[in-house]
Amino acid sequence: MQDHKPRITQASTVNRRGLRPRLTLLLLAIFGLVILLDLEPFSSRWDLPGANAIFWDLHFPRVMAAAIGGIALAWSGLMMQTLFRNPLAGPFLIGITPGATFGVAIVTYLGSQIGLDDSGTSFALQPLAALGGAFLVLSIQLALHKKLTQLHALLLVGLVLGYFFGAAVDIITQTAQAQQVKQFVMWGMGGFDRVLPSQLPILAVSASIGLGILLLNRHAFNAYLLGDIHVESAGKSIKNLRLWLIIGSASMAAIVTAYCGPVSFVGLIAPHISRKINATESHGPNILTTAFAGAALTLTADILANQLIANSILPINAILSIIGAPVVIFMLARK
């Protein structure tokens, strides 16, 4: 089997395979610290009457959703950057978010016209609708991926689908009532507060599937980064690899988007942080550190969103963008 593994020696950024223990431990410590800060297990407010139920029903699911969602989005970003061999790719590049947004717009705005009795049903159906929309885009991408041999064609299809569903949402919004627009805007702001305890296993399963795909194909993904010829020389199918990358990345992004709304920047930044720490593009070491980096980012954003301003909550996407934009610019400038 060793003979079939691609030798990762040709590109300097893919030539190391191991973790850097000290930096990885530092990242792990940061992750531990932010999860502790966000969870506040020793806070005196949990001693108040009725607080126990609030902790387990509202607080714990929020923090866990932030952690799992961050990990899933980070892995999704790692896979998407591998798929396009482009460090600026993110999990939403192939039209997943516009697809999910379209699904939510349909049930929110047209719910009453398609037989949903009241807005409560629309609320309850939002995650399913988002999933439906995201998987619709995924199906189109999968149907086309065999015909589209060029990567840029896949990317263009994603962009075009994004524009198409964005336009459809704009048209549907024109018919909406003010309260429906409010509902829709709130969904689009993203956040982990909305995640119910019963939805945590779904997020965890999606992240586990992504992890499985990454672990099983990590050597092939390394070869893919070096070029198609390296994949073929290792006896792997380019199309199959791309298929796994699309399925893994899009399904994780779709499920997180469905339950948490669109959460930006994590998928873009976390793999960069990880690669910086490990000084390699090799997938083996980056799987672990990308997960820590993604979770640390979303947990930090969650802490800031909830605690920066008293008696108010800030949009998680705004915080991630404020953290993310300078990080990306800094990294690009350093390169």
Which residues here bind another protein, judged by CB under 8 A? 45, 50-51, 53-54, 57-59, 62, 118-121, 123-124, 126, 174-175, 177, 179-180, 182-183, 186-187, 189, 191-196, 261, 306, 311-313
CB of 101 to another protein, least distance (A): 13
Name which of 62 and 145 has its Cβ closer to another protein. 62
Exposed/middle/buried for residue 243 (C-beta within 10 Å: 0-12, 13-18, 19+): middle
Report DSSP state, residue 3. G
Exposed/middle/buried for residue 129 (C-beta within 10 Å: 0-12, 13-18, 19+): buried
DSSP string across 266-329: HHHHHHHHHHHHHT---HHHHHHHHHHHHHHHHHHHHHHHHHSSTT----HHHHHHHHHHHHHH
Q: What are phi and psi of 242, to 5 degrees?
A: -60, -40
Whether the Cβ atoms of residue 299 and residue 66 lie closer than 8 Å to each other: yes
Name which of 37 and 186 has its Cβ closer to another protein. 186
Cα–Cα nearest to 20, from 335, 327, 274: 274
Name which of 183 and 289 has its Cβ closer to another protein. 183
CB of 100 to another protein, least distance (A): 13
Cα–Cα nearest to 291, from 207, 212, 219: 207
CA-CA-CA-CA dihedral for 132, 196, 65, 131, to nearest 10: 0
CB of 123 to another protein, least distance (A): 4
CB of 176 to another protein, least distance (A): 8
Which residue has tokens 């189109």?
Answer: 140
Structural tokens at position 124: 């309850």
**Direct distance between the N- and C-terminal alpha carbons of the chain, in angstroms, rounded to an integer:** 35
Which residue has tokens 């994780």?
Answer: 252
Name which of 87 and 188 has its Cβ closer to another protein. 188
Name which of 149 and 175 has its Cβ closer to another protein. 175
CB of 84 to another protein, least distance (A): 31
CB of 148 to another protein, least distance (A): 35
Name which of 1 and 310 has its Cβ closer to another protein. 310
Name which of 194 and 272 has its Cβ closer to another protein. 194
CB of 138 to another protein, least distance (A): 23
